[in-house]
């Protein structure tokens, strides 16, 4: 079975870490914007094949499941400059051999948050279905359903302290042979979240995202990505 390795530096991609609860509901908005350049490095044996524009985003989820027989490893790292908090996420994606439209994956998180020690965060199990298209299509849609397992230590701000569900709706559209756009909408719900002092409440988060990827050269992509996120606890 072939393997692909993808290393990215990005935000927490909607993965909840430590939370702060209050008796009155609060709504928090966050906004992220990125302009980046991605240099594609290919082995000499693979240079006869033109690289595509999929699997190249930083903040945005693309609507392409892995091809049959391909396992992808994704490493992500995020660091908040004002607080020095950071998180490292490792995701492994497995398409089902006989049913390649179905894809399973898991995400493991290591984090340092709120002046705590470093340790494991919550674990995420993902299922994604390639409902429309694929990596060769002009339009692709692959809804995702994720289960959040409270394996992180809430007293150290490394988890939400409750089982949660996350829904992701990524759409990818090829506008031109050298220009692709990706659109995201999603929501995260935790029925019995817990903060560092063990107060419990229900939490909900919603996110929207959009990006353009320009294939400036066979080995050079230019990205413009935007994310808007709302969290309510």
The whole model's pTM is what? Answer: 0.78
pLDDT digits (tens, 9 = 90+) for 36-63: 666 655 554 444 455 555 566 778 899 9
From residue 177, give the alpha-carbon distance in Å to each of 21, 40, 158, 167: 47, 17, 42, 30
| Domain layout of the chain by residue ranges | 2-232
What is the pLDDT at residue 80?
Answer: 78
**Tokens 């990205």, residue located:** 223
pLDDT classification of 79: cutoffs 50, 70, 90:
confident
pLDDT digits (tens, 9 = 90+) for 199-227: 888 889 999 999 999 888 877 888 899 99
Q: What percent of the chain has pLDDT over 70?
A: 76
The region, left, alpha or beta by phi > 0 then psi within -120 to 50, assigned to residue 56 is: alpha
What is the pLDDT at residue 46?
Answer: 44
pLDDT digits (tens, 9 = 90+) for 123-176: 999 999 999 998 888 999 999 999 999 998 888 888 888 999 999 999 999 998
Residue 108 pLDDT > 90, yes or no? yes
Task: For residue 132, give both structure tokens.
Answer: 């429309």
Instruction: Compute the average pLDDT of residues 3-32.
Output: 52
Pairing state of beta strands 70-79 and 2-9? parallel
């Amino acid at each position: 079975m072939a393997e692909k390795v993808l290393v990215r530096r990005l935000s927490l991609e909607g993965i909840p870490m430590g939370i702060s609860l209050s008796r009155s509901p609060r709504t928090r908005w966050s906004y992220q914007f990125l302009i980046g350049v991605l240099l594609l490095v290919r082995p000499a044996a693979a240079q006869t094949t033109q690289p595509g524009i999929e699997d190249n985003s930083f903040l945005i989820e693309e609507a392409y499941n892995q091809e049959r027989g391909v396992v992808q490893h994704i490493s992500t790292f995020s660091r908040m400059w004002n607080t020095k908090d950071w998180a490292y996420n490792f995701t492994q994606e497995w398409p089902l051999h006989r049913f390649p439209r179905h894809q399973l994956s898991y995400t493991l998180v290591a984090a340092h948050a709120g002046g705590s020690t470093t340790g494991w965060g919550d674990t995420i199990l993902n299922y994604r279905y390639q409902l429309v298209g694929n990596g060769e299509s002009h339009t692709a849609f692959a809804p995702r359903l994720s289960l959040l397992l409270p394996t992180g230590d809430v007293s150290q701000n490394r988890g939400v302290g409750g089982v949660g569900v996350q829904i992701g709706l990524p759409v990818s559209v090829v506008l031109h042979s050298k220009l692709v756009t990706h659109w995201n909408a999603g929501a995260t719900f935790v029925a019995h979240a817990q903060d560092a002092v063990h107060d419990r409440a229900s939490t909900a988060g919603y996110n929207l995202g959009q990006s353009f990827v320009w294939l400036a050269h066979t080995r050079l992509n230019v990205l413009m990505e935007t994310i808007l996120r709302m969290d309510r606890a």
